Amino acid sequence: MIGIIMNIRRFLIAAPAIITVILLLSYFWVPTYEDQTRGNPDRLKQYLTATIGDATILNPILSADSASSQIEGLVFEGLIDRNEDLSFRGRVAHSWRIYEHAYFFLREQAPTARWGQVDAGSLVARLKEAMTGPDWEHVKAIDLIASKTIPQNITLSEDGIEHTIAVQIQTPAQIRLTLDKVDQLLFEKLAPLLGKDYFADFNPADYVHAQSDIESSRLTALAGQVLSPTTHNPIIEFYLRPGVMFHDGQPVTAEDVQFTYQSIVNPKNLSPRIPDYEPVQSVEVVDPLTVRIIYKRLYSPALGTWAMGILPKHLLDAQALEAEARKRGQAPETFTMRQSTFSRHPIGSGPFKFGEWRSDQYIRLNRFDGYWEGPPNYQQYVMRIIPDPLTQEMEFYAGTIDDYSVLPHQVARLKQDERFQSFSGTAFGYSYIGYNSRRPPFDDPRVRRALGMAIDKHKIMEYVLYGQAEPITGPFVKQTDYYNHAIAPLPYDPEAAVDLLAEAGWVRGKDGFLQKEGRRLAFTLITNNGNPIRKAILAIAQDAWKKIGIQVETDLLEWSVFIQKRVNQLDFDAVVLAWSMGIEPDLFQIWHSSQSNPFQLNFVGFRNAEADDLILKIRREYDHPTQVAYSHRLHEIIADEQPYTFLFVNRWTALLDRRIVRQLTAADGSVVYKLIEPTKLGTYTFNFNQWIKLPQAPALAP
């Protein structure tokens, strides 16, 4: 392995000497700067950046790749986002209110702990008298909800066949408590008044009646699903800014918010965002500028999910899609949002509007002068697709792109270069090798663990990443307290890896390769091209596994093919990839077993019942220490199962043209220039709308 690593390192060190040749060759496949910026000769009013891979689909509810998200973040706007201090701030919404309706069913024959047997009306009065003082200040109303009859159809899946069962629910009377904040411990607090068994002894089967023959045990199970003795319904009301416009001049209203939600949960659209919105019970339009979101149950990440870009209903609703399908000669009944040309010509309400997309060349955005917060200083934003990082570097030096993500071997040389602004930080995320656990031999955790133990990850960090990385052991962001620092990294121990594989039945044959039941241990490891670090990992892993008797082929694929044809379709053995993460501990999309279908993010097919339970508990928990404890246990399970070989979290360094600054207007109307500074997350593009490029670097205000 050392030989492989040293060859890679020698290539990276020697790279500057061959950059000129690469740059000349690149002109055979990278469009010229003039071609990519045609129509806007004023370079100072244009921000150019580069990415190694093209976007896939420019619709925020459908995409899952970084290049698409980068563009969508400028074209679309959500109800909220986070400010420099990581607190939520309003965007399309200027403010919001979070409160809760909590319900419990009355037990007609059950006496209360404090008042004995009381009727419904008396119980409401007694509760109002008792629930006073500091512990109950958040309770604003207590109401009696009458009994009602609810017909309902329940769909069951048995042996792959779905059955619909009609039931009738005769609910008892309910007490509804209105709270001005979410209180997950509310029903525990009611125990001294009602009794600790008041809720536990509730039997939902007494109130659910099937309209056809069904086994009593099944009916009991069904009743428990549709009728709970207690219910938390957290509610968020968003109040939208008047005058926020889509790029086509139509106003953004509560109906667009409701439509965006409906589009996400519509199974026809195959949105990877469904798990974030499954806990939503309903999205109600109160008036054109007020939307009410009611949740089925406790869901602690709820507020953050509404940073999702808002879609224009008038361009994508059923009528619009039907008209588009007919115009294009396609069947309206099978035509979905994924097929719409909207995803190639998006319209949002963000600071930039879509201009042009030439596949594998560039995406150009134009300033939206009607942006509610005021238009950006830049007139254009251009994302160029330049798969080769070395070409990106030379383009940056030439001034034909404005930023550059520094390769690890360049950090020491370029970080202190006074010609550029430099930003550094530890990534919110990690790199990994993911194993398709649906396929043997990856369905055996001993094999996955052995594969990780055969790779010297410290050598990767030292020789390939030049120390610009640190080890990681699990799925949470390392800078947060959700990460379990008590878990030791998987050791580098090839001999122990061989022993573990032997325990799993893989023994070395006469040809030197590991075999089991006459079949050689062989598979293919893939990743995307244009990323020299991942390419190096491919070579290092292949060499390490070969040394312990595993036959491994490697393959580099163009980004869109890699994601759309292989990862999204679950057509792979093992992949080298990375996750960029947020600060929330909700890992439902990536790790819950229900999210392991095509186009979902648990593409390795990880399944663990305890992990599933913990994932749900984490997203329903509002108490931070308890949430941390659940996260630590989940981290422990995943580290033990090794569905990924967790490789490293990298330290990043980015360079920016020194002439780019923040331009603001002072109270007296004068122009003030300020230095660009990163946020607590290390993000330096937070105030991008204020950026401007000047002919020369100016004197900066303190």
Identify each DSSP E strand in 203-346 by its residue range: 208-210, 230-240, 280-287, 290-295
Q: How far apart are CA 451 and CA 466, in angstroms?
A: 24
Report helix angle 532-547 to 2-26, nearest 10: 150
Burial of 229 (0-12, 13-18, 19+ CB in 10 A): middle
Q: How far is CA 156 from CA 162, 176, 211, 268, 317, in A?
A: 5, 30, 15, 20, 30
- Is the pLDDT score of 283 beyond 50? yes
Residue 242 dihedral angles phi and psi, to the nearest 5°: -70, 145
- Is the pLDDT score of 25 beyond 60? no
CB 656 within 8 A of CB 340: no
Sheet arrangement for strand 352-358: 46-51, 380-385, 362-367, 352-358
Look at residue 160 in the predicted model and tell me its pLDDT. Answer: 60
Strand partners, 290: 239, 287
Identify each DSSP E strand in 371-461 by its residue range: 380-385, 403-405, 420-426, 429-435
Least confident of 554-558, 614-618, 698-702: 698-702
> Domains of the chain by range and CATH?
2-80+321-426+654-659 (3.40.190.10), 97-234 (no CATH), 429-652 (3.10.105.10), 660-702 (no CATH)
Radius of gyration of the chain from its Cα atoms, rounded to whole angstroms:
29
pLDDT band at 19 (very low <50, low <70, confident <90, very high): very low
pLDDT band at 151 (very low <50, low <70, confident <90, very high): confident
- Is the pLDDT score of 137 beyond 90? yes
The 10s digit of each residue's pLDDT in 417-465 is: 888 999 988 888 999 999 999 999 999 999 999 999 999 999 999 999 9
What helix, strand, coil percent values describe the chain, rounded to 5? 35, 25, 40
Q: How far apart are CA 372 and CA 367, in angstroms?
A: 12
* Averaged confidence pLDDT in the chain: 90
pTM: 0.80
Look at residue 104 in the predicted model and tell me its pLDDT. Answer: 94
| Average pLDDT over every residue of 364-381 | 97
- Is the pLDDT score of 40 beyond 80? no
CB 664 within 8 A of CB 674: yes
pLDDT band at 701 (very low <50, low <70, confident <90, very high): low
Q: How far apart are CA 104 and CA 186, in angstroms?
A: 11
Which of 234-246 are b and which e, b meaning 16 or more Cβ less than 10 Å from the residue's Cβ? bbbbbbbbeebeb
Look at residue 39 in the predicted model and tell me its pLDDT. Answer: 47
Q: How far apart are CA 54 and CA 71, in angstroms?
A: 11
CB 451 within 8 A of CB 645: yes
Percentage of the chain lying above the pLDDT 90 cut: 71
| Average pLDDT over every residue of 270-283 | 94
CB 392 within 8 A of CB 407: no
CB 508 within 8 A of CB 549: yes
| Average pLDDT over every residue of 376-385 | 96
Look at residue 2 in the predicted model and tell me its pLDDT. Answer: 45
3-class state of residue 612 by DSSP: helix
| Average pLDDT over every residue of 111-134 | 92
3-class state of residue 181 by DSSP: coil
Q: Which residue blocks in 142-243 are alpha helix, DSSP H?
A: 186-189, 191-194, 216-226
The 10s digit of each residue's pLDDT in 461-485 is: 999 999 999 999 999 999 899 999 9
| Average pLDDT over every residue of 105-126 | 89
Least confident of 54-58, 309-313, 487-491, 618-622: 618-622
CB 406 within 8 A of CB 420: no
CB 284 within 8 A of CB 261: no
3-class state of residue 321 by DSSP: helix
Q: How far apart are CA 120 and CA 99, in angstroms?
A: 25
What single-letter amino acid sits at 678? P
User: Nearest Cα to 55, choosing from 665, 564, 682?
Assistant: 564
Which of 112-150 are b and which e, b meaning 16 or more Cβ less than 10 Å from the residue's Cβ? beeeeebebeebbebbeeebeeeebebbeebeeeeeeee
User: Nearest Cα to 240, choosing from 96, 347, 74?
Assistant: 96
DSSP class of 605:
-
Q: How far apart are CA 491 and CA 479, in angstroms?
A: 22
Q: How far apart are CA 296 and CA 254, in angstroms?
A: 20
- Is the pLDDT score of 367 beyond 80? yes
Neighbours of 408 (CB within 10 A): 21
**Residue that has been written with the tokens 């490697």 in this structure:** 554
Q: How far apart are CA 519 and CA 571, in angstroms?
A: 21
Identify each DSSP E strand in 540-586 by its residue range: 551-557, 574-580
The 3-state secondary structure of 202-216, one letter per residue: CCHHHCEEECCCCCH
What single-letter amino acid sits at 102? A
Dihedral sign, Cα of residue 614, residue 620, residue 626, residue 632: positive
Look at residue 16 in the predicted model and tell me its pLDDT. Answer: 39
Residues 6+ apart with CB under 8 A from 355: 363, 364, 365, 366, 380
Torsion, CA 610, CA 613, CA 619, CA 622, rounded to 10: -90
Counted residue by residue, the chain has a size of: 702
- Is the pLDDT score of 573 beyond 80? yes
Q: How far apart are CA 641 and CA 174, in angstroms?
A: 45
Look at residue 224 in the predicted model and tell me its pLDDT. Answer: 77
Triad 504, 507, 508: Cα angle to 5°: 150
User: Nearest Cα to 361, choosing from 379, 389, 383?
Assistant: 383
> Of the ranges 8-12, 26-30, 188-192, which is most confident?
188-192
pLDDT band at 702 (very low <50, low <70, confident <90, very high): low
Least confident of 213-222, 516-525, 623-632, 670-679: 213-222
User: Nearest Cα to 303, choosing from 249, 350, 236, 349?
Assistant: 236
- Is the pLDDT score of 36 beyond 60? no
Q: How far apart are CA 228 and CA 223, in angstroms?
A: 8
